[in-house]
Structure 1
Amino acid sequence: MTLSLRFINAEVLHPGGLSAAPLSIADGVIAPDGGRAVDLSGYTILPGIVDAHGDGFERHLAPRRGAMKDIGEGLIAAEAELAANGVTTAVLAQFYSWEGGMRGPDFAQRVMEGLGRICGEVVTDLRAQLRFELSMVDDYDTVAAFIAAHEIGYVVFNDHLPHEALAAGKRPPRLTGQALRIGRNPEKHLAAMQALHAGMHRVPAALAHLTADLARAGVRMGSHDDRTEAGRAEWQRLGATIAEFPETIEAAEAARAGGDSIVMGAPNVVRGGSHNGNASAPDMAAMGLIDALASDYHYPSLRRAAFLLADAGIHDLAGAWHLVSKGPAQVLGLADRGDLAPGQRADLVVIDSRTRRVAATLAGGRISHAAGDVAERFFG
């Protein structure tokens, strides 16, 4: 059931900054007027967070080694964590990879089936992204059918093969541990990697065909971990106009020059830089090279990153929050959310103005999370 409410005495974040004017919701959207008044003095209302790429849900599907039998229950638990962190729209980034285990095709099938079963039971808008390993040329037709069958609207291309080691005839680092973790014989795992590496000459033609088909179907496409201007230009030529986590400023500047969208990880901001020496997200934000921040592997980082950028003076609060709300909504082509303008979806997060902790989250005018004093004000 959607709510009809008028929030009063809160600070409300709009693109122009904070306002003390009341905010109303009705019929699942931001309304010119609302019903019952709810006093939110001491709190700030901000647009709901849109997470364009996150794989933090995986820990709910496999809390210990080995996946849960009921994937749907794990996804429901993940949705609760998302809501508790102010996320109202979440893109779940699922691998389809030669790496096997939770990244393998069979597990991807289970996740998509589970997501299909529980989507109507949760409040948060859960969406799927498929992270496809481009070296899997023999799977291209199968993955195209998989994307269509599950109506996946966002595909990102990865290449996690250790090409340098394989080209030198070396045993890639951590191979044995990786193989044993997914229950595969290490020698067979190595042989599979070598075969994929040897077939890379087949990738360009197959990839051009696949991306053309996906573009005709209206699927959004992106690349992952771009390093060079030439590499980003090639992805743009193929229609993959979203650059996820570019590893260098060169690649990010190429994306910006080409009009592509740039997504960076919020944990990179919270840490003050990349954990593995890649481009610094705070530096990129200061250079205007980020369109959206994504949770990557840590949902709480989205809210924290926005406040950190505002506190550092890199953006004002409206500009910083844009990177976790309207910015990612635009990257995903979701014009109905990301700000608190009349007629937009009633997606909002209520933050304690003093502690900056999430007190309540509403998605489409429905409560997905409420705790403490705010819960009493909502229901009291």
Structure 2
Amino acid sequence: MEKRIYSNAVVTPEGMVAAEVVIRDGAIAAVDERTGPSAAALDWSGDMLIPGLIDIHTDNLEKHYQPRPGALWDAYGAALAHDGQCAAAGITTVLDSLSLHGRKDGLDRKAALGPMIGAMDAARAEGALRAEHLLHLRCEVTNPELLSLLEPHADHPRLKLLSVMDHTPGQRQTADVGALQARMAAAGKSEDEIQEMLVRRHAGRDPTVAESNRRSVVAFAREYGVPLCAHDDATIEHVDEAHADGCVIAEFPVTLDAARKARDYGMAICMGGPNLVRGGSHSGNLSARLCAEEDLLDILASDYVPLSMLRSAFLLMDLYGWPAEKAVSTVSAGPARALGLSDRGEIAPGQRADLVRVRRPPGGWPAPREVWREGLRVA
């Protein structure tokens, strides 16, 4: 069945045009430039039409699985809630980013890993999901149990991204230990709790284990053909190592020097949408806005706020004068190409009909009015 959608602001790879998008069998068959809709078309004049958003890094599933510290939710229900929030934000492809390490806010991530992956698999098999959910496994190289957590998922069909991380306090993302302690105190942690965490994290870091784990993850990525990204690189040496390891994405570099070196190597630079919307990193590291000013920004991920992606793309237009096609690419084609997904991310013939109808009041937040995945409305 053929469908037609007209908008006088269709964001294509070549720029923003008035056009009618023709959809057949879940894919875009044609983008016909014209000044008005045909009789068969849905008329979305006045609203912008952009590709469905592609999110490579989000902690959002964990937030729904444990909505309060110590209070676990049903894993299937968490999958549905997370999926609904992503789709409502215009995200049609999301990589659920699950950490293979320790605890966060009381959540035992080792124990939670199987239920979260299994629930999402079940929801997908039953056709209960609106967005397409892929898998990003975040490999904390300091974890002695890392490989036993990673290897069971080697052949998982949804596994599309791996990242190598080291969150030991005193380096990379948490180089400023005083700032980390202040954030924890502000979150209600006692001084004893903070000190216990610092002692535990440092005591658990064996440099030999960390290096061996990193080498194993790199070999795993090569063997199974999974893209690899470097997380929180801070120095030139960090980026040199990431490039040598075959990392194709620099995820949340924490210094401008690291971002510049990543660009020199041709790595795609990913920053968090909340960082750009808020005007700075919550942990005091590199600002996404500074990356935009320096033209060192290729991908925006939701990180912990799904709606931040769409807002960020529009801020790139508003604050820095980026053309619509360049700004929108950071949340669509940019992440798609970095992942090797060639079938989505653009409004162009042959691409999946993943589309978002966006309305925005003057100076306000862009709001997704309709979200389509493979030619069907999902939100």
TM class by shorter chain equals: 0.7 to 0.9
Distance 2:294 2:203 in 1: 41
The answer on 1:141 being equivalent to 2:170 is: no
For the 8 Å contact 2:269–2:297, the answer to whether it is kept is yes
1:15-164 equivalences in 2 (<5 Å): 15-32=13-30, 36-99=40-103, 101-102=106-107, 104-120=109-125, 121-136=128-143, 138-148=144-154, 150-151=156-157, 152-162=159-169
Q: Distance in 2 between matches of 1:9 and 1:225?
A: 40
Bigger shift: residues 306-315 or 243-252 = 306-315
CA contact (8 A) 2:12 2:325 kept: yes
Partner of residue 9 from structure 2, selected from 5, 8, 11: 11
1:225 to 225, 232, 236: 232
After superposition, the Cα gap between the structure-2 partners of 1:195 and 1:43, relative to the gap in structure 1 and judged at 3 Å, is same
* Letter of the 1:281 counterpart: A
**2:67, 2:73 within 8 Å by CA — same for their partners in 1?**
no
CA distance in 1, matches of 2:66, 2:333: 32
Provide the rounded CA distance (Å) in 2 between the counterparts of 1:367 and 1:276: 37
Distance 1:331 1:83 in 2: 21
**Alignment partners' CA distance in 1, 2:48 and 2:233:** 37
CA drift at 1:186: 9.4
Change (3 A) 1:272 1:335: same
- Partner secondary structure for residue 130 of structure 1: strand
Q: 2:344 aligned with 1:337, yes or no?
A: yes
Q: Is the 1:4–1:36 Cα contact (8 Å) retained in structure 2? A: no
Tell me if structure 2 keeps the 8 A contact 1:87–1:124. yes
**CA distances 1:332-368 after superposition (whole Å, capped 9, x unpaired):** 1111111110110000100125463110000111211
Q: 1:61 to 1:289 in 2, by over 3 A?
A: same
Q: Which amino acid aligns with 1:4?
A: E
The percentage of aligned residue pairs carrying the same residue is 33
Counterpart in 2 of 1:209?
216
Q: Which residue of 2 is the match for residue 320 of structure 1?
A: 327
Letter of the aligned partner of 1:220 in structure 2? P
Shift of 1:321: 0.7
- Separation in structure 2 between the aligned mates of residue 316 and residue 175 of structure 1, nearest angstrom: 37
Does the 8 Å CA contact 1:123/1:366 hold for their aligned counterparts?
Answer: no
Q: How does 1:301-380 map to 2 (within 5 A)?
A: 301-354=308-361, 356-369=366-379
- Range with bigger deviation, 127-136 or 7-16: 7-16
1:88–1:125 CA contact under 8 A, matched in 2: yes
The normalised TM-score by structure 2 is 0.85
Counterpart for residue 204 of structure 2? 196
Matched, 1:263 2:270: yes
- Structure 1 counterpart of 2:376, one-letter code: R
Q: Which runs of 4+ in 1 moved over 4 A?
A: 33-36, 172-177, 185-192
How far the C-alpha of 1:83 sits from its partner, in A, is 1.1
Provide the C-alpha distance between the structure 1 equivalents of 2:63 and 2:13, rounded to a whole number of angstroms. Answer: 35
Query: Cα gap change, 1:176/1:314 in structure 2, threshold over 3 Å: closer, same or farther?
Result: closer
CA distance in 2, matches of 1:188, 1:253: 36
One-letter code of the match for 1:82? C
Q: For residues 89 and 192 of structure 1, do their structure 2 counterparts lie closer, same or farther at Cα, with a shift above 3 Å needed? A: same
Unaligned 5+ runs, structure 1 = 165-169, 370-380
The 3 A distance-change label for structure 1 pair 351 and 268 is same
Q: What is the CA deviation profile of residues 222-281 of structure 1, one whole-angstrom value per residue up to 9, with x for unaligned ones?
A: 121111010111122122332110010110011111121211011111112223332221
**Deviation readout 1:140-187 (Å, 9 max, x if unpaired):** 4313323315342211122222258xxxxx9x959999xx99xxx999
Contact 1:80–1:368 (CA<8 Å) still a contact in 2?
A: no
> Aligned to 1:22, what secondary structure does the other structure show?
strand
After superposition, the CA RMSD in angstroms is 2.9
1:237 and 2:244 aligned: yes
